[in-house]
Structure 1
Amino acid sequence: MKRNFWTMSVLATGALLASASLAQAQQNCAPRALVIERLASSYGETRQSIGLAQNNTMVEVFASTDTGSWTITVTNAAGLTCLVASGQAFERLAESLPTPAEDA
């Protein structure tokens, strides 16, 4: 019985370590210059917008107006950039705020 418990403990620990390594590998992070170069050369994407988020992180949207592909990245203060989302059918919009309703 002790042997089965030990085997299960080892297997569970191995599964936790494997899932942690997999999570780190799936983050898709690299130095900012490399990410920007790859988005430009592989997808024809250029920066379309930028903003600051929590903890001095920079959020950017890259897109190709030719193919419609887009990518959202987050860069930390150390210059590490991570891909957050990507997709197709990018459109540039210039919407204005709705006019407030007049009080009666």
Structure 2
Amino acid sequence: VDLKLKESSDKLAQQIDLKLKESSDKLAQQIDLKLEESSDKLAQQIELKLMESSDKLAQFTKEIAEQINARLMAEIMTLSAQVKSNDEMCQMRLELLETAHRKENEKQRQQPHQIV
């Protein structure tokens, strides 16, 4: 009886060990699978967030560049208008000087020459 009890006990212990090992292996596989799935999902989320951030940064950079270009164009137009205005003023002064010089020459031609 003791021998049979011992054999039964050993057999039961082996079965329990086998079941524990199988359960442990199955649980380890499930954990590995879940970890891999979670890792993949997290990697995808991170990649998506990085792409979104990259797109937002690109859009922000584009908007800043457009604003800078608009300001530069406005400044160029202002400076161009100032240069044109300065050119026009110089041209008017030149015309006035030429007119005054012509009038002076005509005046001198019309006056009789005086000998001093």
- TM-score (norm: length of structure 2): 0.29
- TM-score (norm: length of structure 1): 0.32
Q: Which structure dedicates a bigger proportion of its chain to helix? A: 2
Q: Which structure dedicates a bigger proportion of its chain to strand? A: 1
